[in-house]
Amino acid sequence: MSGNAGTAIPKPGFGLAMVPIVLTLIVLGIQLFYFGDFTPHIPLAIGIAITGLVGLKLGHKWPNIEEGVFHVVYVSLQSIGILITVGMIIGVWIASGTVPALIYYGLKLLSPELFLAAAMLICSVVSVSLGTSWGTVGTVGLALMGIGAGFDIPMYWTAGAVVSGAFFGDKISPLSDTTNLAPAVTGTNLFDHIRNMLPTTVPSMLIAFVIYLVVGFTLIDGDGVSFERIEAITSSLENEFWISPVMLLPALLVIVLAVRKQPPIPSLFAGAVFGGILAMAAQGATLHETFTYANSGYSIETGVSEIDSLLNRGGIQSMMWTISLVLLALGFGGALERTRCLEAIIEVIMKRVRSFAGLQTSAIMTSVATNTVAGDPYLSIALPGRMFVPIYRGSGYSPLNLSRAIEEGGTLVSPLIPWNAGGAFVISALALGVSDGNLENLLYIPLAFACWLSPVIGIFYAMIGAFSPKASEQEVKDWEEAGEPVIKMG
């Protein structure tokens, strides 16, 4: 219920619905660009307060608005659980030698020219297997950042390749929560949804792969890489850790559990436990030290700056900045949804849609806008999915087009918005240093080619009428039997 119990609360007009969004973006812009302080937390908290005032003006009671805030937070608690578990994994897998072994073997086996393309492919495979982009970024992605540093590749290029691969897997893996959420809110079949995403996913990945290959062979000077530097890094790793293929077993365990379709949080936690056992058995850590690594992160001083900057991290506490940002972003999105501000804005957009191309573009861009304003990938999928599905039925096109649109504007755009839950996690897990004022590393956003190419290709298909399935007779029959709402365009 969007209003108070037993009371019909009206939707705000378009102008009033835009007030909390515009004011919050202004405060956010002041914080980010005028003060140069990348901490979006307070602007988002102010956004919740402004939205609450709009809700009170409309006739809502504060407990009702508060319930909306907490409801969205509750729905997304699995993401918080994954963040906490990934924080534990990062600290423990560094201590166990798993991350150091991945960096070591990567420096030994990969070439600088092929590195970016290989990094994208590696993250793609792991993410499809795990069904979590965040888990992939926080483990394999972190190791790849170390390898890239060894090859003297700018952090933002490596981060772009990691994000492209990791979020590709999150989009197309049947184990992913967002991949299951999109068909759930649009009433489509999971595997039909995945198949319908291939026409945009495959080209975007191929184009990104080619770009990374070209960059590797033209902009990265493989002959100019300092092998003395690589030798210093690998020697330092050998001095500090026992490096062996055995150290890769925790990562293999998580992948096996994911392939066997075990839930993500227990699978990741099992990897953390196995890593802790290896840290004690193979690296000589005590039980208390292992607990400390899981909670506060790993600490080391090797004298090699690249190693120290990458391996001094992890632990649950390292995720608190990201978790607090995620909670505030979720709260803002929940307040906007409960006061029906987002609903009012989307309805205005839908009234102006006159063609399928306009409909598909509106669905994608609404997901992008919700991601930008609400900071929550789940809300950016669920809200447009619920709002647009009746008009897709009325257009004669299959809601599979909608489920693809909200995945592209929701899942894939999430890591490209720094204050979004996805973007905040990427920045924190990959140690991009943005919170310290190193804004240059935000260049990973345009360099995550697969993430933004996919929605662009989706809009192009809609304009030319390609890969845009019409509603089948069975779909129409199912809607009629279920009494699903149908809205004509315009």
DSSP string, 218-234: HTS-STTS-HHHHHHHH
Is 417 contained in some domain?
Answer: no
The answer to whether 110 touches 102, Cβ cutoff 8 Å, is: no
Give the pLDDT of residue 276.
95
Three-state secondary structure call for residue 402: helix
Residue 249 maps to a domain: yes
Return the pLDDT at 129: 65
Give the residue from 442, 360, 455 showing the smallest Cα distance to 413: 455
Task: Answer with the residue of higher pLDDT: 408 or 308.
Answer: 408
Tokens (6 digits) for 351? 């009234």
Give the SS3 label for residue 39: coil
Least confident interval from 43-52, 131-140, 359-368: 131-140
- Band (299; pLDDT cuts 50, 70, 90): confident
What confidence score (pLDDT) does residue 6 get? Answer: 42
Q: What is the pLDDT of residues 152-163, one digit of tens each?
A: 888 899 999 999
User: Highest mean pLDDT: which of 85-94, 109-118, 254-263, 267-276?
Assistant: 267-276
In a domain, 309, yes or no: yes
pLDDT at 442: 87
Please list, in sequence order, all residues whose beta carbon lies within 8 angstroms of the beta carbon of residue 34, skipping any fewer than 6 positions away: none
| 296, part of any domain | yes
* Torsion angle, alpha carbons of 405, 411, 413, 415, to 10: 180
Residue 263 host element (H or E): none
pLDDT of residue 83: 76
Say if 262 falls within a structural domain: yes
Pairwise CA distance, residues 375 & 43, whole Å: 12
Cα distance from N-terminal residue to C-terminal residue, the chain: 27
CA distance 166 to 181: 18
Is the full-model pTM beyond 0.85?
A: no
What count of Cα atoms within 13 Å lies in the side-chain half-sphere of residue 29?
7
**Confidence at residue 5, expressed as pLDDT on a 0 to 100 scale:** 45
467 Cβ contact list (under 8 Å, min separation 6): 196, 199, 200, 461
Which of 272-281, 425-434, 448-457 comes out lowest in average pLDDT? 425-434
**How confident is the model over 325-350, as pLDDT tens digits?**
778 877 887 888 889 887 788 778 77
In a domain, 162, yes or no: yes
Determine the structural domain holding residue 132 and report its residue range.
78-318
Instruction: Please name the residue that has the structure tokens 């007009």.
Output: 13
d(C-alpha 192, C-alpha 180), whole Å: 11
Q: With a cut of 90, say whether residue 461 has pLDDT above it.
A: yes
Please, what is the average pLDDT of the chain? 84
Asked whether residue 130 is domain-assigned, the answer is yes
Q: How far apart are CA 142 and CA 155, in angstroms?
A: 11
Alpha helices in 432-486 (DSSP H): 444-447, 449-464, 473-482
Q: What is the CA radius of gyration of the chain?
A: 23
Residue-wise pLDDT for 353-372, tens only, equals 788 999 999 999 989 988 88
Domain count of the fold of the chain: 1
Nearest in space to 75 (alpha carbons), one of 330, 305, 363, 270: 330
CA atoms within 13 Å, Cβ hemisphere of 292: 9
Confidence band for 209, pLDDT divided at 50, 70 and 90: very high
Range with top average pLDDT, 179-183, 392-396, 404-408:
404-408
- Alpha helices, DSSP H only, in 300-340? 305-311, 320-338
Distances (CA, A) of 354 to 69, 392, 409, 488: 34, 12, 21, 10
Return the closest-CA partner of residue 89 out of 151, 118, 45, 132.
Answer: 132
More confident residue, 107 or 274: 274
| Percentage, residues of the chain above pLDDT 90 | 33
DSSP letter, residue 438:
-
The conformational region for residue 154 under phi > 0 = left, psi -120 to 50 = alpha, else beta, is: beta
Indicate the pLDDT class of residue 3, thresholds 50, 70 and 90.
Answer: very low
CA distance 80 to 85: 9
pLDDT above 90: residue 318:
no
User: Would you say residue 153 lies in a domain?
Assistant: yes
Provide φ and ψ at 175, rounded to 5°.
-90, -10
Q: Where are the alpha helices (DSSP H) in 151-304?
A: 155-172, 177-186, 190-218, 227-240, 249-259, 264-281, 287-296
pLDDT at 1: 40
CB 347 within 8 A of CB 66: no
Compute the average pLDDT of residues 162-190: 82
> How many other C-beta atoms lie within 10 A of the C-beta of residue 303?
8
Tokens 């390749």 found at: 161
Burial pattern 356-395, b for ≥16 Cβ within 10 A else e, equals: bbbbbbbbbbbbbbbbbbbbbbbbbbbbbbebbbbbbbbb
Model confidence at 226, pLDDT cuts 50, 70, 90, reads low
Is residue 205 helix, strand or coil? helix
